[in-house]
């Protein structure tokens, strides 16, 4: 990993001294330079036990990228050679969205959503692999689902462990971000488990999605993408965060405004050519937290591309992109 530039270090130092406010006027950092296959959407990245990195993303049959150094990325096909048949129950084109990649119990776990635009007839699937590489995944079917009678949307999964238990954040429009407990043995939601409510917006269409929960110090941090994606240079995605001492909330920003009332500190927003950052996930690499996301490149007709930034932490315990 390259050392931060002097300007980045100075920005971090200044931010550490700022009062804890959700409205600090800051300049957002550019993503770290990457080469090779940069086109990606809703990325999730992990450093493999065997060495190198793999990224999975929306598009095709869960698109795959590999890298030796987290800088040069190569196209590696898809997670699956063919779509599992049950996907067609939720998408006529069997097009999966927003994967989440993690490692536990000697296996890599891949969660993903299958749905169609504009409906909450959706499902989250789960697959496992010993290596984490494309072409090695065994699909285990649905981990959780939603129907048009539900007040939530089962897309954008993200797993987190808390106090010896396993939880999955998920959700989108249809009242925002939710969370359900998962059986660690099966990787699937516990039948009848309470669906907690973590974040929403005050007004329809409740535009908050793409959740990721990270434990740091004594808090759980809920990152989410606010506003609209998928419109190229017209996208308005931005990444916000709140925190809680409990994984199921309540989450609030640095001013104390609850995320259930639209609160959330800005972590990253559009700047320069980097439009609509979101679809985020976070991984640990060499002792650092790494924020992974897509942005739309204003210098390349709004093409979605890979964004990577190290996360720093202020002395008051709030994340900043470096």
Q: Catalytic residue positions?
A: 42, 209
Evaluate whether 274 touches 307 at the Cβ level (below 8 Å): yes
N-to-C CA span, the chain: 13
* Rounded (10°) CA dihedral 299, 47, 228, 29: -50
- Kindly give the pairing relationship between strand 107-114 and strand 176-182: unpaired
| Residue 19 and residue 13 in contact, taking contact as beta carbons nearer than 8 Å | no
Spatial separation of the C-alpha atoms in residues 260 and 197, rounded to whole Å: 8
Cα separation, 226 vs 141, whole angstroms = 29
170, burial (CB in 10 Å: exposed 0-12, middle 13-18, buried 19+): buried
Nearest Cα to 67, choosing from 321, 275, 306, 293? 306
Residue 94 buriedness (CB in 10 A; 0-12 / 13-18 / 19+): middle
- Token pair recorded at residue 278: 């979101």
Distances (CA, A) of 112 to 122, 126, 142, 217: 11, 7, 10, 28
Q: What is the C-alpha to C-alpha distance for residues 114 and 122, in angstroms, rounded to an integer?
A: 6
């Amino acid at each position: 990993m390259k050392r931060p530039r002097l300007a980045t270090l100075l920005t971090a130092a200044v931010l550490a001294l700022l009062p804890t406010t959700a409205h600090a006027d800051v300049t957002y950092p550019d993503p770290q330079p990457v080469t090779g296959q940069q086109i990606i959407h809703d990325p999730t990245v992990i450093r493999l036990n065997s060495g190198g990195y793999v990224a999975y993303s929306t598009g095709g049959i869960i698109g795959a990228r590999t890298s030796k150094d987290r800088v040069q990325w190569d196209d590696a096909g898809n997670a699956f050679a063919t779509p599992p048949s049950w996907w067609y129950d939720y998408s006529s084109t069997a097009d999966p969205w927003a994967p989440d990649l993690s490692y536990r119990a000697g296996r890599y776990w891949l969660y993903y959503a299958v749905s169609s635009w504009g409906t909450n007839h959706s499902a989250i699937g789960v697959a496992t692999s010993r290596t984490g590489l494309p072409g090695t995944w065994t699909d285990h079917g649905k981990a959780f689902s939603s129907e048009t009678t539900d007040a939530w949307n089962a897309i954008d999964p993200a797993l987190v462990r808390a106090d010896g238990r396993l939880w999955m954040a998920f959700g989108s429009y249809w009242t925002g971000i939710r969370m359900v407990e998962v059986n660690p043995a099966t990787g699937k939601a516990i039948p009848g488990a309470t669906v907690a409510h973590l974040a929403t917006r005050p007004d329809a269409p409740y535009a908050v999605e793409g959740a990721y929960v990270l434990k740091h110090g004594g808090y759980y941090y809920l990152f989410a993408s606010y506003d609209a994606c998928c419109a190229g240079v017209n996208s308005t995605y931005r990444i916000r965060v709140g925190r809680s001492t409990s994984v199921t909330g309540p989450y609030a920003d640095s001013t104390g405004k609850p995320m259930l009332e639209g609160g959330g500190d800005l972590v990253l927003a559009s700047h320069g050519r980097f439009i609509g950052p979101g679809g985020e996930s976070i991984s640990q690499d060499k002792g650092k937290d790494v924020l992974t996301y897509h942005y739309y490149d204003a210098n390349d007709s709004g093409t979605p591309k890979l964004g990577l930034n190290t996360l720093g932490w202020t002395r008051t315990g709030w994340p900043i992109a470096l």
